[in-house]
């Protein structure tokens, strides 16, 4: 094995990443510019006239070219497809390049590099494509010892060789078949294989059918969110539409006119603060329950566990009284004195189930480590931050993600809180209650289904992105904790 | 090119070193002061760190969580027991007309939309909830078992399928509920279109829109709740099936045991504790169904223009906060205590049974 070639291929891959990142930044910038250019319908009587949204045919000036609506849609769609393909590819490649050892390189690596080069070429990233192709040849040389020329020369002989081998094998099988006993045995084996194949086919068919039932709502959501009003309400809905008819303007209307930009900002604020609070309080409390000896520890802990059984509805009713004007006075006050964010964040800055989950994790860290640290003069707090937290960091990360998810999906509490105070409360809506309570209805009772579904997609897609990025943490965390929510 | 990168790297490392030096110097100076102060305190026998008892230290660590829990977990429990004895509690001006011991419970139990169906409808909150529990829980458990056994028996594409089946867990109930309502639309909905494709006439067949028949909108609700709850069950079942010792299956394979008997005599008994746990938790979850109903049918809990409604127990409770008869939170507290009693009984049953170990 030539270690130098391996190092060289790694280095070239690193240089390729720079161009990949540049390309992705270009896509993002282009997307933002084009998305900003999209023309919204005119405002009539303080409301946007959404009825004419699908009949507008504006033209756009971009880099000296005049683009009509359909061309604009196609360009944005293509850029988005590029981003969807290239960003995960870059992330996976970066991770692989860091962890890949010299023993994991084989001819499949070369093939996948070549496929990636083709994808780069298709997404107009020519420099990366050239570099990756060059890298492919280096890996081929590393694995097989061929040069570029020898590689092309070796293709035809190798195919011939493979065919010849196959023929030889077939001939051997026919020769073997002469015996009477062995032929009956073979028949038996073949029958069993057939049964096995059918069973496997049935299993896969069942799994694919179930997977379709799971996937179809997501597909239908994305598809509908890109249709125009007629397309979304017609009697014969289309199951596929061409990229020139993907109406990205729907998302812009939802973000600006229907205020979902504001609601997403509110939700992000609530999610960040409540998650930060949860992490700090749960780590401290879990540490106290796991390591510090004090009287009544088990009693206090079992009381906490028992409260997990009580349904959340009980808390919500009385907590609403607590935060309203007869209690802490965060909501229900005269306009201008309400603290909606406080009321939405503070009740959720700690969680008993996460304390329980983290305590189990802390308890698995050997006690001897703690004693050794104490002998070396390490204080409790230092031990917690320097030893415990780094060891338990995967669990803490899982808790972070799950908590962000639950604040993103919170519905009833924000709805009750922002339900008081009329218009002022409406400015503090979080996305879930905005989704349910925003009027997607135009004059004459027309429900703008495409906009409604576009808003749903806007809520769902970030969740899916986070899920795919940190799939391992989330699935492990839920598998181990066995608790929901 | 490589040289350039090396130079840039070197430069960045240098800058990093400078910053690190400054940081460490500050730390050194601070530490120095800390030592001096603690030495001084030691001399005067005033050092607090040595005199801290265990519980004080614990209190220090527990206090951030405990303060929040006291206000928003323990106080509400006490407060709700206080709330149920108030008569005609009025939220807006904080007044009551008197005290009653069971009055609010009786009001909930005899309310015409809680247990007994109202005169003009055929459904009540308890009936609806029980229907959802007794139909959706068994179906979803059988389906999840079948899927996880099938998943366990394949090798290629396993993690791909596992990821897909997990998707409903990470989605927003309201958002996907709106998509389901759109898919079950009367005109141009995906489901009606699908039925048409197989030759079933669906002219104006209404699922969730006006004049939908009770069982049709109930079907949509149950279908959605099964769809949303499958992910967690598959995940748990698959983990526990993978934890079964392979020797049982090898022994069965030597005896040429049929697949069906392997499933019923090995797989199911060995994961029965998990099945039981999932059954109880999903019954509790189904009792608390709320978001799915709101997503599909809105806050009223009924398709427009029908005489019944699909209220669940939780929805009945919440209508006292913001609904048709808002304000009387005592009744809501009584309702939630009844829900708590149901859940408590279920949990105790689970604990008793799982103590005996449901193996074999």
Each residue's pLDDT, cut to its tens digit, for chain B (360 residues) gives 678 888 888 999 999 999 999 999 999 999 889 888 878 887 777 666 556 677 788 888 889 999 999 999 898 888 888 888 888 777 777 777 778 878 888 888 888 778 877 666 677 888 889 999 999 999 999 999 999 999 998 888 898 999 999 999 989 999 999 999 999 988 878 888 888 888 777 777 888 887 788 888 899 999 999 999 999 999 889 988 988 888 999 999 898 888 888 888 888 888 888 888 888 889 988 988 999 999 998 888 888 878 788 888 898 888 888 765 666 788 888 888 999 998 888 888 877 877 765 554
Closest CA to A207 of B167, B232, B157, B259: B157
Q: Is A62 helix (H, G, I), strand (E, B) or coil?
A: strand
∠ CA A454-A405-B130 to the nearest 5 degrees? 85
Kindly tell me if the per-residue pLDDT of A484 is higher than 70: no
Kindly tell me if the per-residue pLDDT of A266 is higher than 90: yes
pLDDT at A241: 86
H or E stretch covering B226: helix B214-242
* Least confidently predicted of A32-36, A45-49, A284-288, B184-188: A45-49
Taking CB atoms and an 8 Å cutoff, what residues of chain B touch A310?
77, 340
Closest CA to A130 of A142, A114, A149, A106: A114
Taking CB atoms and an 8 Å cutoff, what residues of chain B touch A452?
178, 182
pLDDT per position as a tens digit, A173-223: 766 666 777 778 888 888 889 988 999 999 999 999 999 999 999 999 999
Which residues, in sequence order, are bridge partners of residue A67? A60
Could you give the ipTM of this predicted complex?
0.87
Any CB–CB contact under 8 A between A423 and chain B? no
Check A322 against B72: CB less than 8 A apart: yes
Kindly tell me if the per-residue pLDDT of A23 is higher than 60: yes
Check B68 against A484: CB less than 8 A apart: no
Any CB–CB contact under 8 A between A337 and chain B? no
* Measured distance CA(A229)–CA(A424) in Å, rounded: 31
Kindly tell me if the per-residue pLDDT of A306 is higher than 80: yes
Any CB–CB contact under 8 A between A470 and chain B? no
CA of A328 vs chain B CAs: smallest distance (Å): 10
pLDDT at A43: 79
Any CB–CB contact under 8 A between A380 and chain B? yes
Check B2 against A11: CB less than 8 A apart: yes
Of all residues in chain A, the one with the smallest CA distance to B175 is: A456
pLDDT at B358: 53
pTM: 0.86
* Measured distance CA(A105)–CA(A99) in Å, rounded: 12
Mean pLDDT, residues A276-297 taken together: 90
Specify whether the CB–CB gap between B206 and A250 falls below 8 A.
no
Check A207 against B147: CB less than 8 A apart: yes
Mean pLDDT, residues A33-54 taken together: 80
pLDDT per position as a tens digit, A428-460: 899 988 888 887 777 767 788 889 999 999 999
* Least confidently predicted of A378-382, A476-480, B122-126, B220-224: A476-480
* Measured distance CA(A475)–CA(B164) in Å, rounded: 12
| Sign, Cα dihedral of B283, B284, B289, B291 | negative
CA of A383 vs chain B CAs: smallest distance (Å): 13
Kindly tell me if the per-residue pLDDT of A485 is higher than 60: no
Closest CA to A250 of A220, A234, A229: A229
Closest CA to B53 of A463, A296, A184, A210: A296
pLDDT band, residue A483 (cuts 50/70/90) = very low
CA of B169 vs chain A CAs: smallest distance (Å): 10
Contacts by A189-197, CB closer than 8 A, 24 or more apart: none
Taking CB atoms and an 8 Å cutoff, what residues of chain B touch A383?
none
Closest CA to B165 of B229, B101, B255: B229
pLDDT at A275: 94
Which residues, in sequence order, are bridge partners of residue B90? B95
Taking CB atoms and an 8 Å cutoff, what residues of chain A touch B5?
14-15
Mean pLDDT, chain A, whole residue set: 86
pLDDT at A480: 62
CA of A367 vs chain B CAs: smallest distance (Å): 17
* Measured distance CA(A477)–CA(B313) in Å, rounded: 31
CA of B26 vs chain A CAs: smallest distance (Å): 18
Kindly tell me if the per-residue pLDDT of A106 is higher than 60: yes
pLDDT at B137: 93
Please tell me what DSSP assigns to residue B37. Answer: H
* Measured distance CA(B52)–CA(A292) in Å, rounded: 12
Check A281 against B68: CB less than 8 A apart: yes
pLDDT band, residue A333 (cuts 50/70/90) = confident
- Best mutation site among B2, B79, B170 for testing chain A: the one with the most A CBs within 10 Å? B170
Q: How far is CA B101 from CA B81, B82, B98, in A?
A: 10, 10, 10
Burial class (CB in 10 A: 0-12, 13-18, 19+), B11: exposed
Of all residues in chain A, the one with the smallest CA distance to B193 is: A236
Any CB–CB contact under 8 A between A210 and chain B? yes
């Amino acid at each position: 094995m030539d270690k130098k070639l391996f190092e060289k291929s790694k280095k070239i891959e690193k240089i390729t990443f720079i161009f990949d990142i540049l390309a992705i930044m270009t896509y993002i910038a282009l997307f933002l510019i084009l998305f900003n250019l999209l023309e919204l319908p005119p405002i009539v009587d303080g409301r946007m006239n959404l009825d004419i949204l699908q009949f507008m045919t504006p033209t756009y000036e971009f880099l000296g070219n005049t683009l009509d609506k359909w061309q604009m849609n196609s360009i944005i769609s293509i850029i988005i497809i590029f981003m969807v393909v290239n960003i995960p590819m870059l992330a996976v490649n970066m991770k692989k390049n860091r962890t890949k050892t010299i023993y994991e390189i084989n001819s499949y690596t070369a093939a996948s590099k070549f496929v990636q080069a083709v994808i780069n070429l298709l997404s107009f990233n020519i420099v990366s494509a050239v570099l990756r192709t060059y890298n492919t040849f280096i890996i081929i040389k590393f694995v097989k010892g061929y040069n570029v020329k020898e590689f092309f020369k070796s293709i035809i002989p190798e195919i011939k060789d493979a065919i010849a081998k196959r023929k030889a094998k077939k001939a051997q099988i026919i020769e073997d078949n002469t015996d009477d006993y062995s032929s009956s045995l073979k028949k038996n084996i073949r029958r069993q294989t057939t049964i096995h194949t059918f069973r496997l086919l049935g299993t896969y068919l069942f799994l694919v059918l179930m997977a379709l039932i799971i996937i179809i709502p997501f597909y239908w959501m994305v598809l509908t969110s890109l249709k125009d009003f007629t397309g979304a309400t017609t009697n014969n809905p289309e199951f596929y539409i061409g990229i020139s008819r993907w109406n990205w303007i729907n998302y812009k209307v939802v973000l600006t006119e229907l205020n979902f930009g504001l609601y997403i900002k509110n939700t992000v604020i609530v999610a960040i603060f409540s998650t930060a609070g949860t992490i700090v309080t749960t780590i401290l409390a879990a540490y106290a329950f796991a390591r510090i000896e004090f009287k009544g520890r088990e009693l206090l802990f079992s009381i906490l566990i028992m409260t997990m059984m009580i349904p959340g509805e009980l808390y919500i009713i009385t907590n609403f009284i607590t935060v309203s004007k007869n209690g802490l006075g965060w909501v229900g006050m005269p306009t201008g004195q309400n603290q909606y964010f406080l009321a939405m964040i503070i009740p959720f800055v700690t969680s008993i189930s996460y304390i329980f989950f983290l305590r189990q994790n802390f308890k698995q860290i050997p006690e001897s480590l703690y004693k050794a640290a104490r002998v070396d003069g390490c204080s409790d707090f230092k031990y917690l931050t320097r030893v415990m937290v780094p060891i338990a960091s995967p669990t803490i990360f899982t808790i972070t993600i799950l908590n962000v998810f639950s604040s993103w999906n919170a519905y009833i509490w924000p709805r009750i809180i922002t339900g008081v105070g009329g218009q002022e409360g409406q400015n503090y809506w979080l996305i879930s209650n905005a989704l349910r309570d925003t009027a997607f209805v135009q004059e004459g009772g027309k429900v703008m289904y495409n906009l409604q579904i576009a808003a749903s997609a806007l809520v769902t897609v970030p969740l899916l992105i986070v899920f795919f990025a940190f799939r391992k943490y989330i699935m492990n965390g839920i598998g181990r904790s066995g608790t929901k929510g | 090119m490589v040289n350039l990168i090396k130079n840039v790297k070197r430069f960045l490392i240098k800058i990093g070193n400078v910053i690190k030096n400054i940081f460490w110097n500050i730390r050194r100076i601070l530490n120095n002061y800390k030592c001096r102060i603690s030495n001084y305190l030691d001399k005067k026998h005033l050092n607090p760190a040595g005199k801290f008892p265990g519980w004080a230290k614990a209190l220090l660590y527990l206090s951030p969580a405990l303060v929040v829990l006291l206000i928003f977990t323990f106080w509400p429990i006490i407060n709700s027991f206080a709330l149920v004895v108030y008569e005609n509690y009025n939220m807006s001006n904080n007044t009551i007309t008197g005290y009653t011991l069971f009055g609010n419970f009786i009001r909930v139990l005899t309310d015409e939309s809680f247990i007994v169906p109202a005169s003009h409808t055929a459904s009540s909150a308890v009936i609806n909830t029980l229907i959802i529990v007794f139909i959706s829980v068994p179906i979803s458990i059988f389906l999840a078992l079948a899927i996880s056994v099938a998943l366990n028996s394949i090798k290629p594409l396993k993690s791909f399928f596992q990821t897909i089946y997990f998707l409903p867990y990470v989605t927003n109930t309201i958002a996907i509920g709106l998509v389901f309502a759109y898919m079950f639309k009367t005109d141009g909905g995906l489901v009606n279109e699908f039925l048409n494709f197989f030759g079933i006439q669906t002219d104006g067949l209404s699922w969730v829109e006006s004049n939908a028949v009770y069982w049709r909108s109930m079907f949509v609700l149950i279908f959605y709740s099964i769809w949303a709850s499958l992910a967690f069950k598959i995940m748990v079942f698959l983990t526990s099936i993978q934890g079964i010792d392979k020797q049982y299956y090898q022994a069965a394979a030597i005896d040429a045991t049929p697949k069906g008997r392997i499933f019923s005599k090995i797989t199911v008994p060995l994961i029965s504790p998990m099945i039981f746990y999932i059954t109880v938790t999903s019954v509790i979850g189904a009792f608390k169904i709320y978001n799915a109903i709101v997503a599909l049918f809105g806050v009223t809990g009924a398709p427009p223009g029908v005489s019944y409604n699909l209220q669940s127990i939780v929805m009945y409770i919440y209508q006292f906060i913001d609904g048709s008869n808002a304000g009387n939170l005592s009744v809501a507290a009584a309702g939630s205590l009844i829900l708590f009693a149901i859940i408590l009984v279920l949990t105790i049953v689970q604990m008793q049974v799982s103590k005996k170990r449901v193996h074999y």
